[in-house]
A and B are shown apart, each in its own frame.
Chain A
Amino acid sequence: MKEFGYRRVKHVQEALALTANDTGARYLGGGTNLVDLMKDEIEAPSQLVDVRFLPLSGVREAPDGGLAIGATTSNSDAAAHPEVRRRYPALSQAVLAGASGQLRNMATVGGNLLQRTRCAYFADPSEPCNKRLPGSGCPALPGEHHNHAIFDWSRHCVATHPSDMAVALAAFDAVVHYETLDGPAEIPLSEFYLPVGDTPHRETALPPGALITAVSLPKSAACPRSRYRKVRERASYAFATVSVAAALELHDGLVGRVGIALGGVASRPWRARVAEAALHGEPFTGAGLRDAAEAELAAAKPLRDNGYKVTLARNLIVAVLTELAER
């Protein structure tokens, strides 16, 4: 690990000033991703600005009647919050499906969003990797990629975003709130993660030095009839192979608001807008659902060894929405 300075901050402006004056400075949340990557010098900040003592923790009612989850709220506290569980249960389930009890106690909501899109080659400094060292190549493309992307990858990088939480946030139309020295700003989660293109090292639309302050969930997306289901290579404590977050409203057999997002299939949570559009406003039927799932997966471009994810994703959409409709 490279040497670094450590600062605790109590005010947002203080945090912003520190990172503005030192481009090597990084914010420290729970450290579960950053400290891990620092051990191999994949990340080598000059300074850590510990954000956990900022007044950004906790879940509160948002002005529109939705919820705002502070950026330094622990993953555990977000998942256990009664209003998250009541109004956005798939979010609680998604957070609980990630990592372990210990890691969820440490991890913050802001840090979870900004954990690196990564793969085992990225984590191995002896390998080339376009994300770690732009232009060095992507060994996963010809190599081991059975758990990599099937949507929207480029030959520059085929890694998936590992966050479970972000998949549920995508299905619920969440908005990321942040501050820079220019003041507060916000960006919808659907535009937060950048397409891979030829710049896989640039992962989000967040300006340099920006501090995430909260994630908000709109009132209109609240949906007790929602569910997160994660398929992985063991029953617990593993990253997703494919996961789905879905929220479904039915009115007299007709599909009202429907939000579907897939995890483990792209460099960002994959909002299944094609399937949503096919379902919305139509009577809910098994055949219609299968067609909608099929239509979503039509755009998939599996790699040599991960075609199974196409079948898995299609079947998961069908299984989870069927279950929600039958409730």
Chain B
Amino acid sequence: MNDDGRSDISLRVNDVTHGLNVDNRTTLLDALRDALDLTGSKKGCDRGQCGACTVLLDGRRVVSCLTLAVAAEGTEITTVEGLAPDGELRPLQRAFIQLDGFQCGYCTSGQLCSAVGMLAEHAAGWPSAATVDVSADASAQELDAVEVRERMSGNLCRCGAYPSIVRAVLETADQQAVTR
């Protein structure tokens, strides 16, 4: 039943469906952290400015602090907890560890989800603001450090781990190119 300020919703997170009765004001970030105890997604700014709360909706990266939980019903939500569902880290996560892609780790879950979405966007041929020729006839821009910095600019890191984050993303992109 939906009264005016609350809604019964079901959220599908990391392949599990959860029934919830939420205040419509609840952001997806708060629903994940407080109602579902998935505290991997972090709250930095709560205003769409830092990227710490990044999750994937139907494979696309979004900030969960500006997404209302009611508005996320019907999507497949993937959080950082869902990136390694059987405990086996993905190449991107291993690269972050091997190349020191973090210091305090607060921004890391957002960086990881964002990078997964970003690599898929690049593989789909999406240009970026760093792409010299956006015209569709141009061959897909190769991912280099400039492209990665631009495409990942929605994720801030107070520890300034950027150089290693860029390296980890590029290393993962190289591996994916080999296995594709």
To the question of whether A and B form a pair in one complex, the answer is yes
Binding site for B on A (CB under 8 A): 1, 3-6, 28, 30-32, 35-36, 39, 47-48, 50, 52, 76, 79-80, 82-83, 85-86, 89, 92-93, 96-97, 99-103, 105-106, 224, 230, 235-237
Contact of B60 with A by CB under 8 A: yes
Ordered by A's residue number, 16 sampled pairs between the chains whose C-beta atoms are within 8 Å are A31-B68, A32-B63, A35-B66, A35-B68, A36-B48, A79-B126, A82-B136, A85-B136, A96-B128, A96-B129, A99-B154, A100-B51, A101-B114, A101-B117, A106-B67, A235-B150
Chain A residue numbers with a CB within 8 Å of B126 are: 76, 79-80
CB distance from A74 to the nearest CB of B (A): 8
Chain B residue numbers with a CB within 8 Å of A3 are: 4-5, 23-25
Chain B residue numbers with a CB within 8 Å of A224 are: 135
Chain B residue numbers with a CB within 8 Å of A99 are: 154
**Interface size (B, Cβ < 8 Å)?**
44
Q: How far is the CA of A102 from the CA of B63 in the complex (A)?
A: 6
B4, A100: Cβ atoms closer than 8 Å: no
B54, A102: Cβ atoms closer than 8 Å: yes
A5, B135: Cβ atoms closer than 8 Å: no
Q: How far is the CA of A48 from the CA of B25 in the complex (A)?
A: 11
Chain A residue numbers with a CB within 8 Å of B71 are: 6, 28, 31, 50, 52
Chain B residue numbers with a CB within 8 Å of A39 are: 46-47
Closest 6 interchain pairs by CB? A100-B154, A236-B153, A82-B136, A3-B5, A237-B153, A85-B136
CB distance from B82 to the nearest CB of A (A): 17
Binding site for A on B (CB under 8 A): 2, 4-5, 7, 23-25, 27, 46-48, 51, 54, 60-63, 66-68, 70-71, 114, 117-118, 121, 124-129, 131, 134-137, 149-155
Chain A residue numbers with a CB within 8 Å of B68 are: 6, 28, 31, 35, 48
CB distance from A57 to the nearest CB of B (A): 13
Q: How far is the CA of A79 from the CA of B124 in the complex (A)?
A: 13
A4, B150: Cβ atoms closer than 8 Å: no
The residue in B7, B63, B121, B131 that gathers the most chain A C-beta atoms within 10 A of its C-beta is B63
Given contacts A80-B124, A80-B125, A100-B155, 18 further A-B contacts (CB under 8 A): A4-B25, A6-B2, A6-B70, A35-B66, A47-B4, A79-B127, A85-B134, A85-B136, A86-B136, A93-B134, A96-B127, A96-B131, A99-B154, A100-B154, A102-B63, A105-B62, A235-B153, A236-B153
The answer, among B2, B134, B136, for a CB contact under 8 Å with A83, is: B136
